[in-house]
């Protein structure tokens, strides 16, 4: 028998994603950090690509950044982010009473900074800006997209199964 709109709304109110999240990550904070880093990586990659396309096509407020006539690639911010997150992990993690929040925030920061850095892997490899050339774009896209999706599936697999279970329960 199909559910009415009111029944679906009531079921939606009972969707317990926070419960599912806690169920799959409370016992294993390392898995949670890896999952959050993976999500940050994928979101960071998507944001970097979206913004660079907007710059290329002169859409919106985005423009290239330069200092003294030298173009700043987003890899610079990615490396800075990796250094900052690494420093926070060294000196703060576990010290603060809010250690769990710091752990979650640095995991996401690590993922985002990694994506920004790896998105310009062709620049490392060729020592020249081939970002829009076929040789630079294909390898970077493949590595970043595959790595992000694979790690989300590996570290978040049990959580994703729990979300699917909750969604199936919602539709019934």
pLDDT tens for each residue of 65-92: 999 998 889 989 999 999 999 888 877 7
**DSSP type of residue 24:** H
Establish if 162 belongs to a structural domain. yes
Query: For the chain, what is the domain count?
Result: 1
Whether residue 6 lies inside any domain: the answer is no
In a domain, 19, yes or no: no
Q: Tell me if 62 is assigned to some domain.
A: yes
Element spanning 67, H or E: strand 65-67
**Residue 17 in contact with residue 135, Cβ under 8 Å?**
no
Provide the residue range defining the domain that includes 133.
29-171
In a domain, 99, yes or no: yes
Cβ proximity of 38 and 151 under 8 Å = yes
Tell which residue, 43, 113, 106, has the closest CA to residue 77. 113
- How confident is the model over 112-128, as pLDDT tens digits? 998 888 888 777 777 78
Residue 20 lies in a domain: no
Residue 35, domain member (yes or no): yes
Structure tokens at 135: 């040789």
């Amino acid at each position: 028998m199909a559910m009415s709109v009111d029944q679906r709304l009531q079921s939606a109110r009972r969707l317990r994603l926070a419960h599912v999240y806690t169920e799959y990550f409370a016992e294993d904070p390392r898995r949670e950090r890896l999952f959050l880093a993976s999500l940050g990586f994928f979101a960071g990659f998507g944001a970097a690509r979206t913004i660079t396309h907007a710059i290329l096509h002169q859409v919106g407020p985005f423009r290239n950044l330069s200092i003294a006539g030298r173009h700043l690639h987003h890899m610079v911010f990615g490396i800075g982010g990796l250094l900052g997150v690494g420093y926070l992990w060294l000196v703060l993690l576990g010290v603060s009473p809010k250690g769990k929040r710091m752990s979650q925030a640095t995991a996401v920061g690590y993922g985002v900074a990694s994506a920004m850095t790896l998105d310009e892997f062709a620049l490392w490899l060729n020592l020249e800006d081939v970002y829009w050339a076929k040789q630079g774009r294909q390898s970077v896209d493949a590595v970043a997209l595959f790595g992000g999706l694979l790690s989300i599936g590996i570290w978040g697999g049990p959580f994703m199964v729990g979300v699917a279970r909750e969604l199936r329960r919602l539709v019934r």
